[in-house]
A and B are shown apart, each in its own frame.
Chain A
Amino acid sequence: MTDKKTKPKNKKGIFIRLGRYVLQQWPLFILAVCLTLGSNQLSLMGPRYSGAAIDAIEFETGVDFPAVWENIVLMLGCYVLSAVLSYILSLVMMHLSQRIIYKMRKQVFEKLTTLPVSFFDTHATGDIISHLSYDIDTINSTLSHDLVQILTSIYTVVGSLIFMWQISKPMILIFVLTVPVSLLFTKYRSKKVRPLFSKRAKKYGELNGFAEEMLTGSRTISAYGRQDVISSRFNKINGEAMDAFYKAEYNAALLFPTINLINNISLTLVAVMGGILYMYSQNGAILATSAFFITLGGVAQFVQYSRKFAGPINEFSNILHEIQSAFSAAERVFRILDEEPEKEDAADAKELTEVKGDVSIQDVTFGYTAERTVLKNVCVTAKKGQTVAIVGPTGAGKTTIINLLMRFYDHQKGEILIDGIPSINIKRADLRLAFNMVLQDTWLFCGTIYDNIVYGREDASPEEVYEAAKSAKIDSYIKSLPDGYNTVLSDDGVNISKGQKQLITIARAFLSKAPILILDEATSNVDSRTEIQIQNAMTALMENKTCFIIAHRLSTIQNADTILVVKDGTIIEQGNHNELIEKRGFYYSLYHSQFN
């Protein structure tokens, strides 16, 4: 969201790239171009026949009915056909743009799934979503509306000009005067008004943000009796927003009436000039062969064409602005498509089939950024079935070790061996499937409970799913829900507590056959009874597995084969409980401050 207002940098590149999407749908595109030309040609011909019909009415010898009827039928035909074509055109354009943006959304999403975890750690979810909704929507509206609009505008302007040229060349001169004035004025005003509108949008955003922020704290505000203070702050922001609204509206109010004025002046000039020319044409001062000759129907046509001609010119600056924002949106979308994906597995990467579960971290060094090393020369070994407990204050970097084990990030030095094979030489998918992971942030998606559990292993049978839920001690709860395993988990659906969600993710983990377990033990904000259940389920899950546990419980820590004490991003102590106590270091002091 940071650079929504900036102009696109590489316009040409974006244009070519967007153009490629359009050209891939070339049959629709060509159809659309033909339809545009056809429908506009027809609607341009309409006034011509109406002019002819009027001339037929004004015929010297009275009304020339056959000619009137002929022209009326032609006119009607043109208009009906033009309407049909233009509706078909809008359908075609919609299909064209829907295909393109469907594809773009698909590409962006599929790109996202190939990106390394670090991308998601460094980009706010809201920003990613805004690319997929807001930005692609902007491109959509430009494709489906503006593209046709541009073609139509060009065609209408040129077409009207040609028809007007045919009717009366001298009268075209009027537009030589008024069109540049109109264009220059629009450009000048837009430049002035646009920043006012962005300021207005910004102020509205601030207003919404403030209201949202304060309402989430409404209980606190009334507990402290601060309503009036907060209201007066709101009024200040509200006042600013409304002021920005007024300034933008005030200045914008000038534009359209002024353009209208210029159009009306053109009309006046057409009337006066047309009137005079017609007068002299009537009384014979201008010969029928002269360029200055004009009929009454001619004047009527000219008036109609001049209106058609003025329309697109009034819209010109709007369209230009929309195209510009579409280009900026496209640039942001393309930037995601150009992100570096997770590095591909090496060509000689090994498949991992039967994993025993020996894990060895040898002399590993890692930093999220080149400047700051987070782990330095770490050595840990866990034989099959052993438990490594990682302890340390919140935010100390306990998850870094997990990030490296799972290869969410690649370490810079040293080796991590799985069954003696360096993890960099193993196919990522195989490596990750060797791990079973239960994180503290329970992750469930909008779907049934069954779908959420079977997510752990797609080929699991329903019996296995129920068995997993039983092992996680959540089966009877799920059965007590009205829809049982088919209960849909969604934001507005059944209220499932945090603890129960955690148990569902544990059930999911039970389905996995992976020999190595990664566990995040923290269970704050869960009531004590559920916590006991979770604890028991986790203990069951740990059986016969090599375990890496972000540990909080004394029992887990004391029973671990190895304890890693992490502080400020580095492992400061390592050993089992007794060794660390003897060492009388950080672990010792923590242990004693807490339990004695």
Chain B
Amino acid sequence: MKWVFAYLKPLAGRITLGVTIKIIGTAAELIIPFLLSYILENVIESNNAGRIVYYGILMALCAIVASLGNITANRMAAKTTMLFATAMRKNLFSKTLYLSARSTDSFTIPSLESRITTDTYNVQNFIGMMQRMGIRAPILLLGGSVITLLMDRKLALVMIATLPFIFAVVYGISRMGVPLYTGVQKAVDSMVRVVREDAQGIRVIKALSKVDYENCRYDKANKTLKARETKAGAIMGIVNPVMTLLMNIGIVAVIAVSAYFVSSGKSSATTVIAFMQYFTLISMAMMSLSRMFVMYTKCAASAKRISTVLEEENELKITADDGKGNSKNHISFENVSFSYLGKTDNLTDISFSLKRGETLGIIGATGSGKSTILRLLMRFYDADKGVIRINGRDVRSYTREELTAMFGVVFQNDFLYADTIEENIRFGRDISFEDIVSAAKTAQAHGFITSFPDGFSHNVSTGGTNLSGGQRQRVLISRGIAGKPEILILDDSSSALDYKTDASLRSALSDALPDSTVITVAQRVSSVKNCDLILVVENGRIIGKGKHGELMVNCPEYREISDSQMGGAFLD
């Protein structure tokens, strides 16, 4: 929670003012019952209607001050909450984008997502609530207690004695509710899972006439959910009746005790009336206070999840180049080994080199380490052993900006976002429209883009779901080449293109970017067979290296893949 204060510090002046106003408002609210009892106790006896009205006006004034104070303070609180949350979320998001690949892996994307959304909302709500109720409740509680103590110490003590019980009940039960509702949520999840599975597999279910089976499966989830909801509800349902009962018992006790005091002349019945008013205020305050404790635990957990991201070290360090590289090579891997988790190697002893303008193909099974080679080249991770060089310089000696400026890249299942096609290709870079059009032409995307009535201004939906697989890949390839990169990486990114389009793309690429080094990762032999160098990767090792013709002779694994895929790309 400490970091939260750092964010609140610049807002200290505003918060202090808001809190002061809140205190004044709440104090005015506290005076109202006091005036009420004063009227009934003292003023009435003066037999002076004018005085009653006078005190009535005082009461009304207090009510107005209380309301105005609350309105102003709550509005100020909304403003501080807004400023706080904006800053917090801004820093968190930007920090998240700058996390190293390794940190992103260990946090996982869904978890980072929920930190930016759910967790920041939890903290934001708590900060907002603290400024409103967090001030009001303790003041009502304390002020109410003090006033009642001043009015009648013994009666007040009777009343205050019930407060711990109220706190215990609300806090205790709410805490008990937390695991119960987690259980309910899990039951909801498994019910939803059945629905999702069945909506997706409806053809199989109908084909196999499994409707009854599925109804049964669903019913089980439905029944579990019902049972858990009922149980959670039965426990949480205790809070309100018990709360009300405790409050009422407090009132009864006050009346009972006061009967004795009145008879011995130590108290008066009018005090009892005022007490009942205060008691309602105080127990309400107690209730919100106990709720706040529950909210605090939730907020503290969220705050911690946020701070672990904010405190994460982000960038890989830049180190000096050893000067041993050969600047004739555009890209070179020298005995590179790497492991994601530091246990078993994901890449072992990878070595190869490419001249500027050459093409490299990497082929191998899923999980063999093809994409890992690319990730090391772009320095998402640092190699554990060996050196990777670009233009003869160690990749670790480049700044992040220098590195990213060199690459154009299309990942496997890369992402498109909700914006125009033009913007998806430009991707926030400083690229002219003409360059975007020519990139689209090279990527064989120009035809279908201009077939949209709004052309390049056509809106892509989230994830590009309104485009076909092949169209998506071509827009992504346009993005990759629009920046005229010196190294273009295509990671399994033309798999949805038919053979003809794929071939036209490759010849257009070599015309448009003659000096760029192109690296293609693929499952299909047909996508890499014209490359200047082909690497066959298996279990993180290079088991074949050479041109298509050589590999067909020298590398049995390559030949096996090639033979099995005879027609594998047919009309796909």
Q: Is the pair A50, B255 in contact by a Cβ cutoff of 8 Å?
A: yes
Query: A271 vs B226: C-alpha distance in the bound complex, in angstroms?
Result: 50
Q: How near does chain A come to B543, taking the closest CB pair, in angstroms?
A: 13
Q: Is the pair A218, B255 in contact by a Cβ cutoff of 8 Å?
A: no
Question: Within residues 45 to 69 of chain B, which ones have a CB less than 8 A from any CB in chain A?
Answer: 47, 49, 52-53, 55-56, 59-60, 62-64, 66-68
Q: Kindly state whether residue B409 has any CB partner on chain A within 8 Å.
A: yes
The contact string, 1 if C-beta is below 8 Å from chain B, for chain A 67-97, is 0100010011001101110110011001100
User: Which of B39, B188, B241, B245 is the one whose CB lies under 8 Å from A271?
Assistant: B39
Query: A223 vs B414: C-alpha distance in the bound complex, in angstroms?
Result: 12
Q: Kindly state whether residue B366 has any CB partner on chain A within 8 Å.
A: yes
User: Which of B39, B78, B128, B523 is the one whose CB lies under 8 Å from A524?
Assistant: B523
Q: Is the pair A406, B207 in contact by a Cβ cutoff of 8 Å?
A: yes
Interface of A is mostly: helix
Please judge, given known A-B contacts A83-B244, A283-B47, A391-B571, whether A528 and B561 are in contact too, CB under 8 Å.
yes
Q: Is the pair B252, A75 in contact by a Cβ cutoff of 8 Å?
A: yes
Please judge, given known A-B contacts A87-B238, A527-B365, whether A65 and B259 are in contact too, CB under 8 Å.
yes
Chain B residues with CB under 8 A of A297: 269
Question: Within residues 436 to 479 of chain A, which ones have a CB less than 8 A from any CB in chain B?
Answer: 437, 439, 441, 443, 445-446, 455-456, 458
Interface of B is mostly: helix
User: Which of A125, A226, A249 is the one whose CB lies under 8 Å from B427?
Assistant: A226
Q: Kindly state whether residue A165 has any CB partner on chain B within 8 Å.
A: no
Please judge, given known A-B contacts A406-B207, A594-B569, whether A275 and B40 are in contact too, CB under 8 Å.
yes
User: Which of A218, A246, A445, A590 is the one whose CB lies under 8 Å from B197?
Assistant: A445
Q: Kindly state whether residue A552 has any CB partner on chain B within 8 Å.
A: yes
Please judge, given known A-B contacts A87-B237, A432-B207, A531-B568, whether A299 and B40 are in contact too, CB under 8 Å.
yes
Q: Is the pair A234, B93 in contact by a Cβ cutoff of 8 Å?
A: yes
Q: Kindly state whether residue A370 has any CB partner on chain B within 8 Å.
A: no
Q: Is the pair B368, A275 in contact by a Cβ cutoff of 8 Å?
A: no
User: Which of B68, B117, B195 is the one whose CB lies under 8 Å from A211?
Assistant: B117
The contact string, 1 if C-beta is below 8 Å from chain B, for chain A 551-563, is 1111111000000
The contact string, 1 if C-beta is below 8 Å from chain B, for chain A 101-118, is 010011001101110010
Q: Kindly state whether residue A503 has any CB partner on chain B within 8 Å.
A: no
Please judge, given known A-B contacts A258-B71, A307-B280, A455-B208, whether A249 and B78 are in contact too, CB under 8 Å.
yes
Please judge, given known A-B contacts A265-B60, A433-B208, A443-B200, whether A260 and B500 are in contact too, CB under 8 Å.
no
Q: How near does chain B come to A532, taking the closest CB pair, in angstroms?
A: 5
Chain B residues with CB under 8 A of A337: none
Q: Kindly state whether residue B566 has any CB partner on chain A within 8 Å.
A: yes
Query: A230 vs B423: C-alpha distance in the bound complex, in angstroms?
Result: 12
Q: How many A residues face the partner with a CB closer than 8 A?
A: 153
Chain A residues with CB under 8 A of B67: 257-258, 260-261, 264
Chain B residues with CB under 8 A of A391: 570-571
Query: A439 vs B55: C-alpha distance in the bound complex, in angstroms?
Result: 83
Question: Within residues 518 to 534 of chain A, which ones have a CB less than 8 A from any CB in chain B?
Answer: 522, 524-532
Chain A residues with CB under 8 A of B366: 497-498, 525-527
Q: Is the pair A433, B209 in contact by a Cβ cutoff of 8 Å?
A: yes
Q: Kindly state whether residue A128 has any CB partner on chain B within 8 Å.
A: yes
Q: Is the pair B276, A216 in contact by a Cβ cutoff of 8 Å?
A: no
Of all chain A residues, which has the CB nearest B248? A79
Q: How near does chain A come to B276, taking the closest CB pair, in angstroms?
A: 7
Residue of A224, A245, A524 contacting most chain B CB atoms (<10 Å): A224
Query: A207 vs B113: C-alpha distance in the bound complex, in angstroms?
Result: 11
Could you jot down 30 A-B contacts, CB within 8 Å? A75-B248, A86-B240, A90-B233, A109-B195, A112-B198, A113-B215, A214-B417, A218-B97, A229-B428, A231-B90, A231-B97, A245-B81, A253-B75, A258-B71, A264-B60, A264-B62, A265-B63, A267-B32, A268-B32, A283-B47, A394-B498, A432-B207, A443-B201, A458-B213, A525-B495, A527-B523, A531-B564, A552-B572, A553-B570, A594-B569
Sample of 15 more A-B contacts, CB < 8 Å, known A225-B401, A527-B523: A58-B269, A68-B256, A106-B219, A113-B214, A129-B196, A215-B112, A216-B109, A218-B109, A219-B101, A271-B56, A275-B43, A278-B40, A406-B206, A446-B197, A593-B500
